Amino acid sequence: MDITIRKAVKEDCPRMLELVQELAEYEKAPQEVTVSLEHFVDSGFGEKPVWWAFVAESTAGAEKQIVGIALYYIRYSTWKGQRLFLEDIVVTREWRGRGIGKQLFDRTIEEARDKKFKGMMWQVLDWNEPAINFYKKYGADFDEEWINCSLSEEQVNMALPV
């Protein structure tokens, strides 16, 4: 299997967004992906990028093909300092079970170590047993205490009087 893990470039964004949509479908929330390609590209490759990513690229055959991604950003903890937050890791359905997710995860850990972050964090749905079992192999801590909270763009816009 010829797989190369490399830093994402701007031209990868359309395929990356396809994989994000595939992940959303797997997580039973395809309607939740509302980011435009333009916003996605600008957020990763504009004047002030807020995310970075690695792609897994198949180099077998005539054409290269992105078959997986690991997208992250920097989270700041007042208790711990800068930590890498792995937003999404996904390998397209046809390529799962070949160790590509491990290669992406390992490269992301390497990035956290190289940048001297104070750790790495991510979320996993409580029903996603394959992912949970994968993370257990790394000795990951699972926090049952914290509850995720969020406000949508609409809620933010309506939260305070103008």
Residues with catalytic function: 135
Q: In what order do the strands lie in the sheet with 52-58?
A: 3-7, 52-58, 65-77, 81-91, 120-122
Read off φ and ψ for residue 82, nearest 5 degrees: -70, 135
Beta strands in the chain (DSSP E): 3-7, 52-58, 65-77, 81-91, 120-122
Contact status, residue 68 vs residue 76, Cβ threshold 8 Å: no
- Residue 104 burial (C-beta neighbours within 10 Å; 0-12, 13-18, 19+): buried
Q: Strand pairing partners for 4?
A: 57
Contact status, residue 67 vs residue 92, Cβ threshold 8 Å: yes
